[in-house]
Amino acid sequence: MRGTFLLAGSSFMFACWYLIQSKVLSVYPYKYWSSMATCLIGGFQTALAGVIVRRDKDAWKIGCDINLLTIVYSGALATAGKYCLNCWAVAKKGPSYPPMFNPLSVVFTVVLGSIFIGDDITVGSLIGTTLVIVGTYVFLWAKANELPEK
């Protein structure tokens, strides 16, 4: 139950963020600085939540191993890269565009999990990925056929 509420809350907050980001970009032209500020504030919030949830000092030790590589990858590519690409997409296409591509992570998870981890591709995952791809296509088709504002 807790995970469902957190996921719904995350989706709602991302929807709010895209709307705020489109307004910020119309006033503040330095879009990558706003992305950096977002990542920095999110990093402080995550660190605070981590300290509250995980008080064991051994859990916070970082060595020169896969844990360090995971942290650098997650920070540099998964977070900073994503925010920069989202910021660029919001500036070019508007706030409704980037959230439409979030469900594609399910498709990539199914495919890459099958390739690298050896997960089974089930009927449910095939139906889900098909629905995600069809939904994304319908959205892109509708955006391409949208009437211009007068």
pLDDT in tens, 50-77: 888 888 888 777 778 887 888 788 777 7
Torsion angle defined by CA atoms of residues 20, 21, 27 and 30, in that order, rounded to the nearest 10 degrees: 150
pLDDT of residue 150: 59
Q: Which of 81-85, 129-133, 141-145 has the lowest mean pLDDT?
A: 81-85
Distance CA(43)–CA(20), nearest Å, equals 19
Distance CA(67)–CA(64), nearest Å, equals 8
Q: What is the pLDDT of residues 87-120, one digit of tens each?
A: 788 778 777 777 777 777 778 888 888 888 888 8
Average model confidence (pLDDT) across the chain: 81
Contacts of residue 39, defined as CB under 8 A and 6 or more positions apart, other chains included, come to: 75, 79, 80, 83
Residue that the structure tokens 């590589």 belong to: 69
Helices 31-53 & 2-27, crossing angle to 10 degrees? 150
How big is the CA angle at 121 (ends 130 and 2), to the nearest 5 degrees? 80
Q: Is the pLDDT of residue 28 over 70?
A: yes
Q: Which residue has the higher pLDDT, 45 or 80?
A: 45
Q: Is the pLDDT of residue 38 over 80?
A: no
Tell me how far CA of residue 46 lies from CA of 15, 50, 53, 105, in angstroms.
19, 6, 10, 22
